[in-house]
Chains A and B, each alone.
Chain A
Amino acid sequence: MAAVMTIEELRRGLSWRKNLDKLFVVVGLLILMSCLGVLALLFLDLVRDGAERFGWDFFTQFPSRKAERAGILSAWVGTSMIMLVTAIVALPVGVAAAIYLEEYAPKNWVTGIIEINVTNLAGVPSIVYGLLALGLFVYKFDLGQSVLAAGLTLALLILPIIIVGTREALRAVPKAIREAAYGLGATRWEVTKDHVLPYSTGGILTGLILGLSRAIGETAPIITIGALSFIAFLPDSPISSEFPFLNFEWLRSEFTAMPIQIFNWVSRPDQAFQQNAAAAAAILLGMTLAMNAIAIWIRYRFRKKINW
Chain B
Amino acid sequence: MNTNVADKTETPSIAIAMEDRKATSANRAKASAEKLDFWYGTNQALKNINLVIPENQVSALIGPSGCGKSTFLRCFNRMHDLQPDTRYSGSIVLHPEQVNLVSKDVDPIEVRMRIGMVFQKPNPFPKSVFENVAYGLRLRGVGNRTELAERVEKALRAAAIWDEVKDRLADSALALSGGQMQRLCIARALATEPEILLFDEPTSALDPIATAKIEELISELRNSVTILIVTHNMQQAARVSDFTAFMYLGELVEVDATSKIFTNPSKKATEDYITGRYG
Contact = CB atoms under 8 A, between A and B. Distances in A.
Q: Do A and B bind each other?
A: yes
Given A176-B121, A179-B119, A184 B136 contact: yes
Interface of B: 77, 79, 82, 84, 109-110, 112-114, 116-117, 119, 121, 123-126, 135-136, 139-140, 185, 188-189, 192
Given A184-B189, A185-B139, A194-B135, A106 B119 contact: no
B84 A190 contact: no
Contact of B125 (A107, A181, A185): A181
Contact of A183 (B77, B124, B126): B77
A190 B82 contact: no
Contacts of A174: 123
A176 B136 contact: no
Interface string A180-216: 1111111100100011000100000000000000000
A34 to B, nearest CB: 46
The 8 closest A-B pairs by CB, nearest first: A185-B113, A176-B123, A185-B112, A184-B136, A183-B117, A180-B123, A186-B139, A187-B109
Nearest to B185: A180
Given A181-B125, A185-B192, A176 B119 contact: yes
A183 B125 contact: no
Contacts of B189: 183-184
Nearest to A183: B117
A183 B112 contact: yes
Contacts of A194: 135
A306 interface: yes
Interface residues of A, number: 20
A211 to B, nearest CB: 27
A177 B135 CA distance: 13
Contacts of A187: 109
Given A106-B84, A199-B126, A180 B119 contact: yes
Contacts of B79: 179, 182-183
Nearest to B191: A184
A190 B185 contact: no
Contacts of B119: 176, 179-180, 183
B123 A184 contact: no
A185 B82 contact: no
Given A180-B124, A306-B126, 5 more contacts: A106-B84, A174-B123, A180-B125, A185-B114, A194-B135
A308 B140 CA distance: 27
Contacts of B114: 185
Query: Quick one: which of A106, A185, A308 has the most chain B CB within 10 A?
Result: A185
Query: Quick one: which of A106, A176, A183 has the most chain B CB within 10 A?
Result: A183
Contacts of B77: 183
Query: Quick one: which of B121, B126, B136 has the most chain A CB within 10 A?
Result: B126
Contacts of A177: 123, 125-126
B135 A184 contact: yes
A184 B112 contact: yes
A182 B117 CA distance: 10
Contacts of A306: 126
A190 B124 CA distance: 16
Contacts of B188: 180, 184
Contacts of B124: 180
A185 B113 CA distance: 5
23 contacts: A174-B123, A176-B121, A177-B126, A179-B119, A180-B123, A180-B124, A180-B188, A182-B82, A183-B77, A183-B79, A183-B112, A183-B189, A184-B135, A184-B139, A184-B189, A184-B192, A185-B109, A185-B114, A185-B136, A185-B140, A186-B109, A186-B112, A186-B139
Nearest to B118: A183
Contacts of B82: 182
A180 B192 CA distance: 13
Nearest to A176: B123
Contacts of A176: 119, 121, 123
A191 to B, nearest CB: 10
A199 B139 CA distance: 19
A175 B112 CA distance: 17
Contacts of B136: 184-185
